[in-house]
Amino acid sequence: MTLLLKIALTADEQQIAEFFQASVGEWRSERRYYTLPQGETKEMVSIITIHFLQQGDDELQKLAQLHDLQDLESLTCGAKVTWESTDLHNAKKEASGVTVFGAWGNILYRDRGFATTKPVTAQYYFPSLKTLCLRTEYNNSVFEEEIKLIGDKYRTRQSIVSRAGEQLMIGQYLEKRV
């Protein structure tokens, strides 16, 4: 009986699994960040690699431990994302890293946040079949992100970072499957 309960996914979990699976592969991400209110811009190019993680994967079990989840098999699916970013104007390598995402219900568990190395959670929802929206809150900041799959070869993303109700940064991305 317990096994059957673990296999039955909520609609949100089924949709996030399909979204992660559709995102698998390597992407070239052209990014532009706007710092507000000054309007300063920074342009980056990132190579992103996305791997799908099935329920029970070792990476998801480690993530469940990080979040002190009682059942290490509770995360129904996830993704492991690696990236390497370069400043577009001076060709200087800016950042590289790895992050792991795991879904349970309408919560996305992460091993790290956008601006922290500590584990965080995000609420997620799908306003349409191919568009994932996330809202993450920590350190008095709010991170809102929209990721939209466009056909099989493109994704767009937009991130908005706010603190105390004031927008601090907007990131816009065009990603092409390579």
pLDDT of residue 136: 96
C-beta of residue 76 within 8 angstroms of C-beta of residue 103: yes
pLDDT of residue 10: 75
pLDDT of residue 2: 40
Residues in the chain: 178
pLDDT of residue 9: 60
pLDDT of residue 20: 97
pLDDT of residue 91: 82
C-beta of residue 103 within 8 angstroms of C-beta of residue 13: yes
Residue 136 makes CB contacts below 8 A (sequence gap 6+) with 110, 113, 114, 120, 121, 122, 123, 142, 143, 144, 145
C-beta of residue 79 within 8 angstroms of C-beta of residue 101: yes
| H helix runs in 32-156, sequence order | 58-66
pLDDT of residue 8: 56
Residue 48 makes CB contacts below 8 A (sequence gap 6+) with 26, 27, 28, 29, 81, 82, 83, 175
Per-residue pLDDT of the chain (178 residues; tens, 9 = 90+): 344 444 456 778 899 999 999 999 999 999 999 999 888 999 999 999 999 999 999 999 999 999 999 999 999 999 999 999 999 888 888 889 999 999 999 999 999 988 888 999 999 999 998 999 999 999 999 999 999 999 999 999 999 999 999 999 999 999 999 9
C-beta of residue 169 within 8 angstroms of C-beta of residue 33: yes
pTM: 0.90
d(C-alpha 53, C-alpha 60), whole Å: 7
Fold entry, domain 11-177:
Lipocalin (2.40.128)
